[in-house]
Amino acid sequence: MTLAERTVFVDVFEGALTGLVLCEVTTATEAEIESVVPPPWAALEVTADPFFNGAKLAFTTPEQLRVRLAHS
């Protein structure tokens, strides 16, 4: 998948976090990432949110995810 002429990596979660889909765009600089506009189907921009770090998500329960999304 591409976005703003950049490759997008998509993580589709299963198991306890079924339904969560994260997309990652890699850029050379922070200025470049700021120019990338999320697609209209993206619910949240979580680039700077440590909650959505892969290591953190590995230990996140469905309830913790629901609460976090409800407060975003």
pLDDT tens by residue, 2-45: 776 778 889 999 999 999 999 988 888 888 888 888 888 888 98
Q: What secondary structure does DSSP assign to the chain, as a single string?
A: -EETTEEEEEEE--GGGTT-EEEEE--SSHHHHHHPPPPTT-----TT-GGG-HHHHTT--HHHHHHHHHT-
pLDDT in tens, 46-60: 888 999 988 999 999
Q: How confident is the model at residue 63 (pLDDT cuts 50, 70, 90)?
A: very high
Q: pTM for this structure?
A: 0.78
Residue 44: partners with Cβ closer than 8 Å, 6 or more residues away: 69, 72
- What's the confidence (pLDDT) of residue 6? 78
Q: Considering its fold, how many domains does the chain have in total?
A: 1
Residues of the domain holding 37: 2-70
- What's the confidence (pLDDT) of residue 17? 96
